Amino acid sequence: MRYISTRGEAPALGFEDVLLTGLATDGGLYVPESLPHFSVEEIRSWRGLPYAELAYKVMYPFVEDAIPADDFRKMLGETYSVFSHQAVAPLVQLDTNEWVMELFRGPTLAFKDFALQLLGRLLDYVLEKRKQHVVIMGATSGDTGSAAIEGCRRCEHVDIFILHPYQRVSEVQRRQMTTVQGDNIHNIAVKGNFDDCQRMVKESFGNQSFLGGKTQLAAVNSINWARIMAQIVYYFQASLALGGPDRSMAFSVPTGNFGDIFAGYLAKKMGLPIAQLVIATNRNDILHRFMSGNKYEQHQLEHTLSPSMDIMVSSNFERLLFDLHGRDGAAVKDLLERAAKGPVSIEDYRWKHARKLFDSDAVDDKTTCDTIRDIYEKNEYLLDPHTAIGVRAARNCRRDSTVPMITLGTAHPAKFPDAIAESGLVVKPQLPAHMADLFEREERYTVLDNNVSEVQGFIAKHWKNA
């Protein structure tokens, strides 16, 4: 399988290189040159498979040039055995034909574990083979940092440095990062905001000379193809559990960077019968505004009760734009260069095609809280604010009540106690047993000034073979 850039100029790469590369050299994102397609008979034959085995069936075509089948199977077995539920991605019923798929049974209680648990193992495997080392550098405002750290904690060939804004992430989120023990794990609290952290990461990727040529940076942000790939699997899993592929499913997906829902779009293209895909956003609704009015325009960032969806632009949307433009990289490049300067639209027939593929909705904080309360009162089931947005959007956008509607449950409610409190419920979400002592665990992090050379100096000094 070859991977090509959405901006049409960077060289095509194989899986190993795509894994180790963030952005393509032309600024684009890598996508498979072609997708595997599975027949209904084949998908039906996967009914009842354990999650890791299903993951093998769905993902192997993407990695087969790089990893022997047995090695990949073993890796998947290990990856998904760290989840705390036997079904890995269990379904919970909310109402007739309405479900939540709980994607928060991994080590950091958010769906990002599905991809990052695998990504850490993939990186270590490929680096071992190549006798290479990488430094992962990333900025986080919450969920990604902890999932990345958990994913890399046992990697031999990876050091990970995660920057978070000092005193500006929630205590649960901070502790999930800073209490993970390991010589290759480094948390840096920057005396600045999230944008400062992100700027330093970007600058460091642009000029890696501070590493002295002895190692290289790698990215684990949501544009990494391997993350998208791992997220395709659970769409198949949910469908098979509810009678697919012999009936269609609808999915509602709490969306920020468009990674998770893009995986659903790919599942459909790979042969899974999906009748409806709902893009659920919070007040940071660039995608909903585009879907409703064919205008792609950045607004100011709003801070909401669903912080993991607080974005101004959705980086993975570029991958959809590539398909909408008949995979014409030059057209995508032109469009996104214009979009960086002001609002843009696409040709009407292309936009209409996008509207056939997706429905969308934007949900504000008040409605998020109303939904948390409403579901708790009717079901005694506690939603986290991101999932609540998904459930609300699912109900608002539903087209056919005979089609099962599955909302992706992206985080455990205990990660976001403020939203639960704000919804007026007196119930307190409890951390699962394996994390109950989170507030007693020892923390390790270094506070640094908002200064890129100080941060780079720290990294240069502290990675394994420095």
**Cα 202 to Cα 219: distance, rounded to the nearest angstrom:** 10
Task: Tokens for 229, please give them.
Answer: 């790939």
The verdict on 386 binding ligand PLP (CB under 6 A) reads: yes
| Identity of the residue, 301 or 466, whose beta carbon is nearer to ligand PLP in the bound complex | 301
**Cα 68 to Cα 71: distance, rounded to the nearest angstrom:** 5
The verdict on 184 binding ligand PLP (CB under 6 A) reads: no
Name 195's Cβ contacts closer than 8 Å, sequence gap at least 6: none
**Rounded least distance, CB 208 to ligand PLP, Å:** 26
Residue 403 CB burial class (10 angstroms; 0-12, 13-18, ≥19): middle
**Rounded least distance, CB 215 to ligand PLP, Å:** 28
**Rounded least distance, CB 182 to ligand PLP, Å:** 22
| Identity of the residue, 20 or 228, whose beta carbon is nearer to ligand PLP in the bound complex | 228
Name 82's Cβ contacts closer than 8 Å, sequence gap at least 6: 106, 107, 113, 117
Q: Which residue has the tokens 């991101």?
A: 386
Which residue among 260, 310, 359, 361 contacts ligand PLP (CB under 6 A)? 260
**Rounded least distance, CB 256 to ligand PLP, Å:** 3
**Rounded least distance, CB 257 to ligand PLP, Å:** 3
Annotated catalytic residue 112: yes
Asked whether 219 and 183 are in contact (CB, 8 A), the reply is no
Contacting range for ligand PLP; rule: CB under 6 A; set: 252-260, 341-349, 355-363, 423-431: 252-260
Residue 105 CB burial class (10 angstroms; 0-12, 13-18, ≥19): buried
Which residue among 143, 310, 318, 365 contacts ligand PLP (CB under 6 A)? 143
Contacting range for ligand PLP; rule: CB under 6 A; set: 206-214, 253-261, 265-273, 294-302: 253-261
Contacts within 8 Å (CB) and 24+ apart, 324-327? 324/350, 324/353, 324/354, 325/350
The verdict on 110 binding ligand PLP (CB under 6 A) reads: yes
**Rounded least distance, CB 140 to ligand PLP, Å:** 10
The verdict on 283 binding ligand PLP (CB under 6 A) reads: no
Amino acid at 236: F
Task: Concatenate the DSSP letters of all residues of 256-311 into one string.
Answer: SSSHHHHHHHHHHHTT--EEEEEEEE-S--HHHHHHHHS-B--------S-GGG--
**Rounded least distance, CB 103 to ligand PLP, Å:** 9
| Identity of the residue, 140 or 456, whose beta carbon is nearer to ligand PLP in the bound complex | 140
| Identity of the residue, 67 or 305, whose beta carbon is nearer to ligand PLP in the bound complex | 305
**Cα 51 to Cα 167: distance, rounded to the nearest angstrom:** 38
* Stretch 284-343 residues interacting with ligand PLP (CB under 6 A): 308-309
Contacting range for ligand PLP; rule: CB under 6 A; set: 30-38, 115-123, 249-257, 449-457: 249-257
**Rounded least distance, CB 465 to ligand PLP, Å:** 32
Contacting range for ligand PLP; rule: CB under 6 A; set: 27-35, 171-179, 255-263, 441-449: 255-263
Which residue among 184, 248, 255, 304 contacts ligand PLP (CB under 6 A)? 255
| Identity of the residue, 118 or 459, whose beta carbon is nearer to ligand PLP in the bound complex | 118
Task: Tokens for 257, please give them.
Answer: 């960077």
Backbone angles phi, psi at 312, to 5 degrees: -100, -40
Task: Concatenate the DSSP letters of all residues of 312-343 into one string.
Answer: SS-TTHHHHHHHHTTT-HHHHHHHHHHHTTS-
Q: Which of 66, 183, 60, 53 is CA-nearest to residue 123?
A: 66
Task: Tokens for 19, please give them.
Answer: 């894994």
Task: Tokens for 310, please give them.
Answer: 């607080």
* Stretch 207-226 residues interacting with ligand PLP (CB under 6 A): 222
Q: Which of 278, 276, 274, 279 is CA-nearest to residue 256?
A: 279
| Identity of the residue, 142 or 244, whose beta carbon is nearer to ligand PLP in the bound complex | 142
- Residue 225 to residues 32, 180, 319, 402, Cα–Cα distance (Å): 9, 26, 10, 34
What is the three-state SS of 33-48? Answer: CCCCCCCHHHHHCCCC
Q: Which of 57, 74, 112, 295 is the catalytic position?
A: 112
Which residue among 56, 258, 317, 463 contacts ligand PLP (CB under 6 A)? 258
**Rounded least distance, CB 386 to ligand PLP, Å:** 4
Residue 435: Cβ within 10 Å count: 21
Contacting range for ligand PLP; rule: CB under 6 A; set: 14-22, 236-244, 256-264, 318-326: 256-264
Binding-residue total with ligand PLP (CB under 6 A): 16
Which residue among 257, 304, 360, 367 contacts ligand PLP (CB under 6 A)? 257
| Identity of the residue, 103 or 134, whose beta carbon is nearer to ligand PLP in the bound complex | 103
* Stretch 395-424 residues interacting with ligand PLP (CB under 6 A): 410-411
Which residue among 7, 105, 112, 325 contacts ligand PLP (CB under 6 A)? 112
Burial 162-191 (b: 16+ CB within 10 A, else e): bbbbbebbeebbbbbbbbbeeebbbbbbbe
**Binding residues for ligand PLP, per CB under 6 A?**
110, 112, 143, 222, 254-260, 308-309, 386, 410-411
Hey, which residues are catalytic here?
A: 112
